[in-house]
């Protein structure tokens, strides 16, 4: 039987101090995620591609340099490069912590393999990812939200959510796990309405109703927060199952990988 492929996102709200808008990696949580993945690999055979979000490393730079609508000026070019470098800096914390945990992780630079057309992925060279999966089932390729070239507007943001949704469809992942700082999708933003109820399953039937009460992120977020996450999944998912869960909680990552965890199931 082929080894199942899982694609997992570590949200910017998990891997950075996004809520406090601090330009700082959340090293402790990244290390926790790494050690839970290591234990999961010892428990079950699966292949993993990991994608992480940006938090202030991406969103604040993009906002400050005004580069969410294309690269036209010298200052935009500077912002494009600064944002990319900041994302590599955040990514390096993942590589260090994954190595410390004894994992075999390698970064795949989104700028080198993705081309967008008016903010949408139009070309994505996935062969290196596919060959790394073939090389060894324990290799974890790590990608991240980033600035990439854009056929129409010079350069644009590709979000971690867009990469996840695209890869899940293209590589026929059997599980898509989205770790964030809330325990799923709720009837209203649980940060503002703590009594809001969690939605257990989002499917084709209830999607349009639910999306009305889903908003963006409370922090600075140029890629649209929870709402955009769901819209991206709907565009690309076609048949794969996804789960949105709270990744900050101890044991949730290992539970999500080897069994099940509390959260919202997405079946679109």
Select from 68, 213, 235, 241 the one that contacts ligand ADP (CB under 6 A).
213
Near ligand ADP by CB under 6 A: residue from 58, 155, 225, 263: 225
Stretch that binds ligand ADP, among 31-39, 43-51, 126-134, 215-223 (CB under 6 A): 215-223
Comparing CB distances to ligand ADP, the nearer of 36 and 189 is 189
Q: Which helix (H) or strand (E) element contains residue 140?
A: strand 139-144
Contact of 49 with 5, CB cutoff 8 Å: yes
**Which of 164, 193, 192, 163 has its CA nearest to residue 176?**
164
Helix (H, G, I), strand (E, B) or coil at 156: strand
77-116: contacts with ligand ADP (CB under 6 A) = none
Tell me which of 32, 84, 229, 232 binds ligand ADP, using CB under 6 A: 229
* DSSP, res 93: H
* Cβ count near 101 (within 10 Å): 18
Per CB under 6 A, 146 contacts ligand ADP:
no
The nearest distance, CB 234 to ligand ADP, in angstroms, is 15
Helix 74-100 to helix 56-65 angle (10° resolution) is 180
Query: Residue 135 CB, nearest distance to ligand ADP (Å)?
Result: 29
Stretch that binds ligand ADP, among 62-70, 147-155, 169-177, 223-231 (CB under 6 A): 223-231
Tokens of 205: 């039937």
Using the minimum distance from each CB to ligand ADP, give the nearer residue, 97 or 181: 181
Of 180, 236, 252, 253, the residue at the interface with ligand ADP (CB under 6 A) is 180
Number of H helices, E strands in the chain: 10, 14
Handedness of CA 38, 179, 218, 227 (dihedral sign): positive
Rounded to whole angstroms, the Cα distance separating 35 from 85 reads 26
Q: Measured at CB, which residue is nearest to ligand ADP?
A: 11
Q: Name the minimum Å distance from CB 44 to ligand ADP.
A: 25
Q: Which residues bind ligand ADP (CB under 6 A)?
A: 11-14, 18, 53, 180-182, 185-186, 188-191, 213-215, 217-218, 221, 225-226, 229
């Amino acid at each position: 039987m082929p080894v199942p492929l899982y694609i997992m996102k570590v949200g910017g709200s998990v891997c950075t101090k996004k809520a406090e808008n601090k330009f700082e990696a959340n090293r402790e949580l990244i290390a926790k995620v790494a050690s839970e993945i290591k234990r999961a690999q010892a428990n079950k055979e699966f292949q993993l591609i990991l994608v992480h979000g940006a938090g202030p490393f991406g969103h604040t730079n993009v906002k400050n340099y005004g580069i969410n609508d294309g690269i036209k000026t010298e200052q935009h070019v500077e912002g494009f490069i600064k944002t990319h470098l900041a994302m590599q800096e955040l990514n390096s914390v993942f590589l260090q912590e994954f190595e410390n945990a004894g994992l075999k992780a390698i970064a795949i630079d989104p700028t080198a393999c993705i081309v967008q057309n008016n903010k949408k992925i139009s070309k994505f060279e996935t062969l290196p990812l596919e060959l790394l999966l073939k090389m060894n089932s324990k290799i974890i390729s790590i990608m991240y939200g980033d600035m990439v070239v854009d056929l129409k507007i010079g350069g644009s943001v590709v979000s971690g959510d867009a990469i996840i949704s695209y890869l899940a469809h293209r590589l026929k992942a059997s599980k898509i796990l989205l770790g964030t700082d809330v325990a799923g999708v709720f009837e209203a933003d649980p940060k503002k309405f703590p009594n809001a109820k969690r939605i257990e399953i989002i499917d084709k039937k209830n999607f349009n109703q639910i999306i009305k009460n889903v908003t963006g992120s409370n922090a600075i977020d140029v890629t649209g927060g929870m709402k955009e996450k769901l819209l991206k999944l709907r565009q690309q998912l076609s048949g794969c199952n996804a789960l949105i869960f709270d990744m900050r909680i101890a044991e949730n990552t290992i539970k999500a990988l080897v069994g099940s965890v509390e959260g919202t199931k997405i079946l679109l």
